Structure 1
Amino acid sequence: MRTTGINHLALVCRDMEETVRFYTEVLGMPLFKTVALPDGGQHFFFDCGGGDAVAFFWWPDAPAAAPGIASVRDFPRDAKTAVGSMNHVAFNVPEDKLDEYRRRLVEAGVKVSPDMVVNHDDSPMGVSAEKHEGVFVRSVYFTDPNGIMLELAATTRAFGPEDVRHAPARAVRAEA
């Protein structure tokens, strides 16, 4: 089996009108398909570039948000989410646009956290205050009106075999 990318990522919103406004007006993602569901809900699709889409379900009786379980509670201080949850969505952007896009988010009243472009590297902390040769992704993090953590991510170098150097961890299970 060979996939050719992600068709769409489906998330759940609390208010479809607010979500449409944020994704079309703030992020500039065209709304290209809307569906009325037989149970009274809605399913809307936004073009996030590269032939990919981000979609939202809305139901009048959806369960409430669960920060710290199904979504990030407070990035970067409390970024863990539950097994099976979606932690965040990262959108590819050109590196030379990161500062401009960050500024536009702030001007639109979006809380961007932390208060800088994050330089991801292989240091013990995993981030650097400055861009250097070892930085592999630069990111801007923020949340949408539903509390969904989003990332604008710019890959800064090609990856090679040397980038896969950690053994996968195993869960510790209690003996029965």
Structure 2
Amino acid sequence: MKIKGIHHIAIICSDYARSKTFYTETLGLSVIDEHYRAARDSYKLDLRAPDGVQVELFSFPDAPLRPSYPEARGLRHLAFAVEQIGDAIASLQARGVRVEPLRVDEYTGRRFCFFSDPDGLPIELYESPSGSDQDASAL
């Protein structure tokens, strides 16, 4: 088997409209497709990041909570590469998003920070001069 890359990341949200606004307007992901599945009382929104990686946003009634803090087993966070982290942080803060203090990756020297989506999913911004480095932090 030879993996070519990441195709998509799937996220289940508690409030579809709020999360759709966050991922499209706050983070700027573009909508590929959107479907309401009546049999599941569920939305599925396909989004695209500028590098082509897709994010699938799902809503399911009464989905259980998943612990994020303190660190829990499983997927730790979603990380997006940005060219100018200061500009990205300012954009988030202008939209009322609380951003954790800026940190420096001890191995690469690159700057990064964390914030959360509307359901508390940890999201990282990782500064990358090209905006799409593959060496993003695996913290």
Q: TM-score range by the shorter chain?
A: 0.7 to 0.9
Would you say 1:119 and 2:119 are equivalent positions?
A: no
Q: Distance in 2 between matches of 1:54 and 1:118?
A: 25
Per the TM alignment, residue 61 of structure 1 is displaced from its structure 2 partner at its CA by 2.5
For each residue in 1:91-117, what CA deviation from the matched residue of structure 2 results, as whole angstroms up to 9, or x when unmatched?
A: 1111xx10011011111110111x2x2
Q: Distance in 2 between matches of 1:62 and 1:5?
A: 29
Identity score, percent? 28
Which structure exhibits the higher relative contact order, with contacts defined as CA atoms closer than 8 Å and separated by 6 or more residues? Answer: 2
The equivalent position to 2:88 in structure 1, one of 101, 105, 108, is: 101
Q: Name the structure with the higher strand share.
A: 2
Task: Give the RMSD, CA atoms, in angstroms.
Answer: 2.1
Largest Rg, 1 or 2: 1
The size of the alignment, in residue pairs, is 131
Per the TM alignment, residue 44 of structure 1 is displaced from its structure 2 partner at its CA by 0.9
8 Å contact from structure 1 (residues 33, 45) kept in 2? yes
Runs of 5+ consecutive residues of structure 2 not aligned to the other structure: 135-139
Aligned residue in 1 for 2:113 = 140
Q: Which runs of 4+ in 1 moved over 3 A?
A: none
8 Å contact from structure 2 (residues 82, 88) kept in 1? no
8 Å contact from structure 1 (residues 20, 31) kept in 2? no
How does the TM-score come out when normalised to structure 2? Answer: 0.84
Runs of 5+ consecutive residues of structure 1 not aligned to the other structure: 123-133, 160-176
Per the TM alignment, residue 147 of structure 1 is displaced from its structure 2 partner at its CA by 0.6
